[in-house]
Amino acid sequence: MTTSNRAPVITLIVVALNIAAAYGLLVRPELLFSLGYDPAAPQFWMPITSLFLHQNVVHLLGNMVFLAAVGPRVEEAAGPWRFLLVYVAGGLAGVFAHALFTPKGGAPMPLIGASGSVAACIAYYNIRYVGLQVTLAPKIGVPILAITILWVALQLLGAFVSLGGEVARTAYWAHLGGFAAGLGFAALFRARRDADRQMGHVVMDRLEKRSPAAKLAASDLHLAEHPADVAALLKKADAHAQLGDRDHEAEALLQALEHLPESGQPDLLARLIGIGQIQRLPSLRRTLLAERFRVSHADLAKGLLLSVVAGSPEDPQRPEALLALATMGESSYLQELREKFSLHPACDLARARGLL
pLDDT at 18: 94
Which position has the higher pLDDT, 143 or 241?
A: 241
For residue 107, pLDDT over 70 is answered with no
Give the CA-trace dihedral at 300, 305, 309, 313, to 10 degrees. 140
For residue 118, pLDDT over 80 is answered with yes
Strands 140-143 and 133-137, sheet pairing: antiparallel
Which position has the higher pLDDT, 166 or 202?
A: 202
Q: For 232-261, what is the mean pLDDT?
A: 92
- CATH number 1.10.20 is the correct assignment for the domain at 192-260: no
User: pLDDT tens for residues 185-238?
Assistant: 999 987 777 776 666 666 666 766 778 888 888 888 888 878 888 888 998 999
Burial 256-266 (b: 16+ CB within 10 A, else e): bbeebeeeebb
For residue 163, pLDDT over 50 is answered with no
Q: Confidence band (pLDDT; 50, 70, 90) for 151?
A: confident
69-73, 157-161, 274-278, 305-309: segment of lowest average pLDDT? 157-161
Burial 174-194 (b: 16+ CB within 10 A, else e): bbbbbbbbbbbbbeebebeeb
For the chain, what are the domain ranges? 9-189, 192-260, 282-356
Taking CA atoms, 173 is separated from 49, 67, 177, in Å, by 18, 19, 6
Domain 9-189, what fold? Answer: Rhomboid-like fold (1.20.1540)
Q: For 235-261, what is the mean pLDDT?
A: 92
Separation CA 214–CA 201 (nearest Å): 13
